[in-house]
Structure 1
């Protein structure tokens, strides 16, 4: 009799348990098909909204009235020499690993895109330092972020690589959906990009090139083709110089990629297209007008009429110093070209004191980095390198780029 009662109790208990699992209580503990569908619909809706925003992004303008995101520049990548370092410095292929950094790199530990849309994504942008150009860069980045509904936080180490390293740690700790970074120091940036990569956070490099080793750890690099546009500027410079005469170069700050591009792109290009032109000197006085003026004044005294042209890495402070030195020496025959395009530089072009500058959109630079991030979130293919378009500004078309972005 006891065994029968026990059996009945077991049946009752089993029935109660089944009721809990599959009855009202079960609905609370089991994920329902309806809730899973809701999550899928939310993801799909976010992606659709993000892709729809691409039309709005394509219509954005920079403050100079130019398209914020014009078509990207294409670049032909030649085969790599067996050992570029063994070639002379005035051979373009010596600089292969710098000029074509990011191409043909085997990526390491790159996260897969969630393909769930850019809207609502949290992105941290670590720039290199405070400067009017950087302000314009950030403005362009925010225009794109706002159009997509992305949350963009900006951090600046003010040109200090050690502070940038600390900011990378802070950014990793914040666990954003993406980190964008302009490296302060090309060599040091390798370990910074590696650290972000190892933390499992997708990262995009922007504006200045890190060393090629760092390119393994980033989804992509976006920015100006400094080598390409300085080759273009060199060709205009040679034309203005009638393909002969002595020239000198005011260089960018040593260490970063612009230092090499804005020195050796013109040197190697002019050797090829204008062998009668002679490099007299090259110096890096920094970005103080007075120091540039001292260097150019020395050149004008030392080389006299042999010096016919000067290439500048900056169209603001360096240009002001060079123009002042030329004015003091009462030289009317010096051809002056520069990287651009600040208000100072474009005003000097209008006045005929600078003959040509590069169009280097600061807003477009920041916009390109955020656009690459959005494309990745939206599941689009992102090329390993995205170059901004190139153009040389002269007196003939300078008004088209007014008002200046910075």
Structure 2
């Protein structure tokens, strides 16, 4: 193990400086790597028999099988999974069905995470084919999913941003025995291999808590879904529910009014008109929670209208949001670690396909609260 730069090793007070460490038979036994050959010698069988028992292949007498397993346990045998994967020479073809970053820059980060994981896993035979769809078009999602189905894949990573359209493909993959991993949106009913991402409900709960801290007087708060098909996006519904439930659990429903708005796309003028109506109808708005990466659109509007009393919470460290965070037009961003979602999604498939490890069905990533003051730590860590 390499010591930390600039530090010197100081011997423990119990060991005098210059003393030599003595390797006893016990420590040598602990450090010894147990091989199949060692088990075979102790069990008085061939290495081939041990191999068949440990990998559950071929026929072996039951008494011999039990003896080999008992000796393997006594010797604390651990298979060298990495070495086995390296010599396996098998290629694992994995598909990544993901939104195209050309339509929304948020999706560049998970794509980078996927590519980073593939680069690390290439030596073990992992190959990833990307199928990119328009995140604003359910038809595009279906088209790419059908294109994927035309080829044989060992596993699939998917961002199921279109709930209804995803379900039919989940059923098909289950019937075909293809393991699939979800990221960004959790849909547990179809038993994916695992889900990587944030707890959407808790992130909405957190957003409400952040806005409440800065607004102790009676006020209205807005949950804004910007340019989204909310009815077909289960993660956005979960975020909104978490936001509302914060005020319910704190018994604050009578003090704070929660207003929901679906801001439809249609150009800057159309968005401005929709928001003008919102603020006219609800003049006591003191906080806005944007449920996706489009907080910068709301920040542009608040700056244009000089609504400095309105606090703003959103998601994701995309360039447009960071500009507003640095000028205090966005108060907080919740980092969803999209790069980590893509990276751990591919790693999860590798654990299952290559390394034969059991996956935890859910890998929640931390809810990191980003401010102007701590932003640079996250930017540096991601480089």
* TM-score, normalising length: structure 2: 0.69
Shift of residue 275, structure 1, vs aligned partner: 3.7
Structure 2 gaps of 5+ residues are 1-46, 56-77
How does 1:239-318 map onto structure 2 within 5 Å?
Answer: 239-242=213-216, 244-252=218-226, 253=228, 254=230, 255-273=232-250, 274-275=252-253, 277-286=255-264, 290-304=269-283, 306-316=284-294
Q: Determine the C-alpha separation between the residues in 2 that align with 1:297 and 1:404.
A: 39
Q: Determine the C-alpha separation between the residues in 2 that align with 1:381 and 1:361.
A: 23
Offset from partner CA, 1:271-316 (integer Å, 9 cap, x none): 3234454235311114665544333322333333x22111112344
Offset from partner CA, 1:143-198 (integer Å, 9 cap, x none): 01210112111001323434433433433332122112122421221210111121
Say if 1:260 and 1:340 are closer, same or farther in 2 by CA, change over 3 A.
same
Query: How many positions carry a matched residue from both structures?
Result: 301
Q: Determine the C-alpha separation between the residues in 2 that align with 1:50 and 1:142.
A: 24
The answer on whether the counterparts of 1:125 and 1:153 sit within 8 Å (CA) in structure 2 is yes
Say if 1:369 and 1:345 are closer, same or farther in 2 by CA, change over 3 A.
same
The answer on whether the counterparts of 1:46 and 1:117 sit within 8 Å (CA) in structure 2 is no
Say if 1:314 and 1:277 are closer, same or farther in 2 by CA, change over 3 A.
farther
Q: Determine the C-alpha separation between the residues in 1 that align with 2:352 and 2:156.
A: 12
Q: CA RMSD in A?
A: 3.3
Say if 1:327 and 1:200 are closer, same or farther in 2 by CA, change over 3 A.
closer
Corresponding residue for residue 345 of structure 2: 369
Query: 119, 129, 140: which is aligned to 1:146?
Result: 119
Q: Determine the C-alpha separation between the residues in 1 that align with 2:88 and 2:203.
A: 34
Corresponding residue for residue 48 of structure 1: 82
Partner SS, residue 333 of structure 1: coil
Query: 356, 362, 374: which is aligned to 1:397?
Result: 374
Q: Determine the C-alpha separation between the residues in 1 that align with 2:286 and 2:90.
A: 54
Offset from partner CA, 1:183-235 (integer Å, 9 cap, x none): 2421221210111121222222222233x43x23x212222222112212221
* TM-score, normalising length: structure 1: 0.65
Shift of residue 372, structure 1, vs aligned partner: 0.9
Corresponding residue for residue 31 of structure 2: none
Query: 306, 327, 351: which is aligned to 2:327?
Result: 351
The answer on whether the counterparts of 2:247 and 2:253 sit within 8 Å (CA) in structure 1 is yes
Shift of residue 335, structure 1, vs aligned partner: 1.1
Q: Determine the C-alpha separation between the residues in 2 that align with 1:302 and 1:166.
A: 41
Say if 1:401 and 1:243 are closer, same or farther in 2 by CA, change over 3 A.
farther
Say if 1:208 and 1:173 are closer, same or farther in 2 by CA, change over 3 A.
same
Say if 1:152 and 1:45 are closer, same or farther in 2 by CA, change over 3 A.
farther
Instruction: Check if 1:125 corresponds to 2:96.
Output: yes
Q: Determine the C-alpha separation between the residues in 1 that align with 2:194 and 2:275.
A: 39
Q: Determine the C-alpha separation between the residues in 2 that align with 1:341 and 1:161.
A: 25
Higher relative contact order (CA 8 A, sep 6+): 1
Partner SS, residue 187 of structure 1: helix
